[in-house]
Structure 1
């Protein structure tokens, strides 16, 4: 990995860690997040997956517009490191532990693989 890409990846991790910690205190049911990116098509290729415990918690978050607040915070944290997401809602996805267990026997590595 080139040093510039490694530095960018470290900055992304720091920015998303801040957004993750914020969400844990403001968004009921939110557990963790992860990301992936292809740096030859960055930032368009950035995918941030926000994980909740249950599907109902995702529904509740959407009803209370907490999903939009989470996307907005991720966008804000990325801007702080100089990464502009043109359409942040296309970079951020929501998933649940419940759905991963049902569809991939709890194997997040397999679930998060690109299709």
Structure 2
């Protein structure tokens, strides 16, 4: 403990008394180490806020565009696909579109298996759904070399059994 206090005091002694962290902020360092820590944290948070607020506007536009496209697809799927329940998307906008994942949820494994069976003649199967999704995303200039790497199929029953119905916890694993 004495070593870390001594190190902090040495660092404080090496700094000028009036240190300028930003062009418009003068900070009196003095001996009070707690003030230095608080000031540094505040400046870091302010810088992060500035950085994220610049990205948020673009991200919100992208997210809104995705939400609209996926809602259209969802509305169609509810009518055409037996057992289809809902879909959502997960994305890290700093790695967009590579990080985009579309999660498609069915009521149970039986209906998901029927949907995935390409040999069955039905209104809409997995291949057709993926093609519709790909076309929707392409209309927003979002394209992938292999869209299958960005689509995850899941079921309500699996979530209930494995995560007690907690979709937030389940989606974190993707």
**TM-score, length-scaled by structure 1:** 0.93
Greater Rg by CA: 2
What is aligned with 1:22? 76
Alpha-carbon distance in 2 for matches of 1:105, 1:26:
28
Question: Which of 1 and 2 has higher RCO (CA within 8 Å, sep 6+)?
Answer: 1
Q: Which structure 2 residue ranges, 5 or more long, are not aligned?
A: 1-54
What is aligned with 1:97? 156
What is aligned with 1:70? 129
Q: Which SS does the other structure have where 1:112 is aligned?
A: helix
Alpha-carbon distance in 1 for matches of 2:135, 2:57:
24
Shift, 1:38, TM fit: 0.9
Q: Which SS does the other structure have where 1:13 is aligned?
A: helix
1:107 aligns with 2:166: yes
Q: Map 1:11-90 onto structure 2 (within 5 A).
A: 11-63=65-117, 64=120, 66-90=125-149
Alpha-carbon distance in 2 for matches of 1:86, 1:42:
14
Question: Aligned residue pairs: how many?
Answer: 115
- Large movers: runs of 4+ above 6 Å: none
**TM-score, length-scaled by structure 2:** 0.63
Alpha-carbon distance in 2 for matches of 1:33, 1:2:
23
Alpha-carbon distance in 2 for matches of 1:87, 1:41:
17
RMSD of Structure 2 on Structure 1 (CA)? 1.4
Q: Which structure 1 residue ranges, 5 or more long, are not aligned?
A: none
Q: Which moved more, 1:79-88 or 1:30-39?
A: 79-88
